Structure 1
Amino acid sequence: MPAVQNLQQKPARMSIVTFDQWCEAIDTSFLPLAYTRQTRGCFHSNVSYARFGACAVADMDVDAHRVAREPRHVAASDAGFFKIFWQISGQSRVAQRGNEASLEPGMWSIYDTAQPYSIEMPDRCRVLVLLVPQERAFGWRQAAASLGGRALRGEGAARIALSALGAMLHDTCSGHLLDYQGQMVLQDSVVSLVETALQGADTRPPALGDGADAAMARHLGEARMHRLAEFIDAQLHDPELSAQRLAAVLNVSRRTLYNLFRESGQTPHAYILSRRLRQAAVRLSGSADAGRSITEIAFALGFADAAHFSRVFHERFGMSPSQWRQQNAGGTRIALRH
């Protein structure tokens, strides 16, 4: 699979009249796939394609055929992507991870390109397809694992994302290109909108109630908090680690980030500080850092001021860093409060 930067760079409107041209266009603009069709002769497709940021999007009006992401394609991949597939007209049959569904107009689905999947279009139809590198859509990972190949309702945030992408495609293919900042804003907005839609995704009939939706939202929140903790622990040395930095790196909005932390009862700033203080207590107690000064340990954990570190450490543990080190130097461990 080509890296995302090697995909077709220029926006384009294409009218395709052979199946071979269609296969080549998809391999170049998106990802290598296996292609089959039931009939011979002309194959018609009209495509509008554009890039924004690290993402690619296309509006496709296409004849009947089937595509599949096979294990051989996955094995040859050097990067992971998420694909969002909106059904605008006609019908498609989708499958991934044992899930199978029929998409009607107004519905959508998500795929993980690191897993095999298939899409069958039995008749001519129109779809809009979005390709996003997985590192740009950190919050989608858990949802893609459970919802890949399932039919989702195209309402609310999903519909807004579709409208924004359609408008961008029209303007871009008409020669009105977004500048770099505009592309980044659109990319972050679409990623956040789709994440919101995935969190509220309902794949069941309305009569079954909304209990499963609430359970899914809680599960997604817990999984994302675990991944956030791992990321933060790896970046504690960075004094610039902040809510704004987390939102930018994880490609979520500040509102989404704060909502996630609110469920844990903390703000992003308080959570980062708590992880730094916990790690400081561990290092002050251990032999590996016995030769380092308290100030060196504080700076290594992202604290920019030794006095500030001493004050917040005392507030957290009820003693100064030096007292903590003295009381734990002989091997007597004091339980850390979470």
Structure 2
Amino acid sequence: MAHSLPSDRNSSLPELFDTATMPPGDRLRLLRDAIGSAAVPVEVLHHVGPDEVSARGTGGRLGRLSILTITTTPLTVRRTVRLARADPEPSIIVELQLAGRRSVVQYNRRTVLSPGDLILLDARRPYLSTSQDGNHQHSVRVPRADLALTDHALARVAGLRLGPRNPVANLAAAYLTRLVGDQRLAAEADLDVFEAPTIELIRAVVATQLGAGVLASEPLENTLALRIMEFTRQHLTDPDLSAAKIAAAQNISVRHLYTTLSRSGIVLGEWIRVRRLEGCRRELARSAMAGRTISAIAHAWGFGDATHFSRTFREAFGMSPREWRALHQNKQRAYALTTTPIDADVAS
């Protein structure tokens, strides 16, 4: 049976390994070494024949953190007691399941992960991860000392499925997906700026899972701006989006909302306006949206007045929405003409 891999070609991170470039006779050994170098040393057992084994990995550094996206045919990954004890720098691994179902065992807990689920693994302890239908995941490796959580706290949360009942886990899943997949980040000169907020977000996930009172309050407050902006991003098309609605979703006052955002240099109204305009601009340029009116697209992105939208669009981009759409339609027609196959009779 052939196994197809989900595409991870949109990752903004550099490619670390691809079995397609490995000599078939050395593929299994090279892949094991590549996974161990990109993440942590593990034993790998493949559930398909050597000729069917396929895996790709992309990754990078965020300061002291490392990020890995991996896509593989079915396999079992085993972190043995010997390998865990030999690790020179104890670390914590947070994994986000993107596709496929996977069984993970750590601390005598067996957890089944589905797409969208998070799990935290303590790399100082043995664990077992098995995927029967292929696997696609993001992972972040954090030095254990940087996470600043007690052994007791980690032991209570490691190996658990962190899913829908943990709202901060949902935020972390969306954050990791955008962090790894956003092509614009590939051009960032210094990805280290994401180190601190990523650590605080992971701490908030753990603290919220534990319901640990004082333990939860600090990381939750430290990630408040991130949670506010993620909620706002997800509700950009809501015409009733307001500071009051955003504040209510975070159980804070409007004053606290503005104070939190001001510390990050964010002006809420301007931030929303710019993202909505960018959304409209993308849709107006898409050929699939050619059948929708400009006013319908504007309304879908929260602009209630067509005249105000047109004026704001021109101020932001130097041309009207109609001119922008016409420009891209002309480009698409020109491209279609240059790629139309030449008639065989004419060619002859």
Unaligned runs of 5+ in 2: 1-12, 21-26, 224-348
Runs of 4+ in 1 over 6 A off after TM superposition: none
Q: Residue in 1 aligned with 2:135?
A: 125
Aligned length: 204
Q: Do the aligned partners of 1:19 and 1:42 also contact (CA within 8 Å) in 2?
A: no
Q: Residue in 2 aligned with 1:191?
A: 199
Unaligned runs of 5+ in 1: 1-9, 202-212, 226-246, 257-338
Structure 1 length as normaliser, TM-score? 0.54
| Partner AA of 1:98 in structure 2 | N
User: Partner of 1:67: helix, strand, or coil?
Assistant: strand
Please give the alpha-carbon distance, in whole angstroms, between the structure 2 residues aligned to 1:27 and 1:173: 28
| Partner AA of 1:19 in structure 2 | L
Q: Residue in 2 aligned with 1:25?
A: 34
Of 73, 80, 87 in structure 2, the residue corresponding to residue 63 of structure 1 is 73
Of 4, 11, 28 in structure 1, the residue corresponding to residue 14 of structure 2 is 11
* Percent of residue pairs identical: 17
Q: Do the aligned partners of 2:92 and 2:121 also contact (CA within 8 Å) in 1?
A: yes
Please give the alpha-carbon distance, in whole angstroms, between the structure 1 residues aligned to 2:63 and 2:140: 12
User: Partner of 2:48: helix, strand, or coil?
Assistant: coil
| Partner AA of 2:154 in structure 1 | A
| Partner AA of 1:149 in structure 2 | G
Q: Residue in 2 aligned with 1:176?
A: 187
How far the C-alpha of 1:253 sits from its partner, in A, is 7.9
Please give the alpha-carbon distance, in whole angstroms, between the structure 2 residues aligned to 1:167 and 1:178: 18
Of 130, 136, 139 in structure 1, the residue corresponding to residue 149 of structure 2 is 139
Q: Residue in 2 aligned with 1:105?
A: 115
Q: Do the aligned partners of 1:11 and 1:173 also contact (CA within 8 Å) in 2?
A: no
Shift in CA distance, 168/152, structure 1 to aligned 2, threshold 3 Å: closer
Q: Residue in 2 aligned with 1:304?
A: none
Q: Residue in 2 aligned with 1:166?
A: 177
How far the C-alpha of 1:172 sits from its partner, in A, is 7.0
| Partner AA of 1:191 in structure 2 | I
Of 47, 58, 61 in structure 2, the residue corresponding to residue 38 of structure 1 is 47
Q: Do the aligned partners of 2:168 and 2:208 also contact (CA within 8 Å) in 1?
A: no
Please give the alpha-carbon distance, in whole angstroms, between the structure 2 residues aligned to 1:170 and 1:255: 24
Please give the alpha-carbon distance, in whole angstroms, between the structure 2 residues aligned to 1:44 and 1:140: 38
Q: Do the aligned partners of 1:140 and 1:195 also contact (CA within 8 Å) in 2?
A: no
Matches within 5 A, 1:201-280: 201=209, 216-218=211-213, 221=215, 255=222
Please give the alpha-carbon distance, in whole angstroms, between the structure 1 residues aligned to 2:131 and 2:197: 30
Shift in CA distance, 35/81, structure 1 to aligned 2, threshold 3 Å: same
Please give the alpha-carbon distance, in whole angstroms, between the structure 2 residues aligned to 1:125 and 1:73: 22
Q: Do the aligned partners of 1:46 and 1:60 also contact (CA within 8 Å) in 2?
A: yes
1:152 aligns with 2:147: no
How far the C-alpha of 1:31 sits from its partner, in A, is 1.1
Shift in CA distance, 162/140, structure 1 to aligned 2, threshold 3 Å: farther
Please give the alpha-carbon distance, in whole angstroms, between the structure 2 residues aligned to 1:106 and 1:168: 15
Shift in CA distance, 13/164, structure 1 to aligned 2, threshold 3 Å: farther
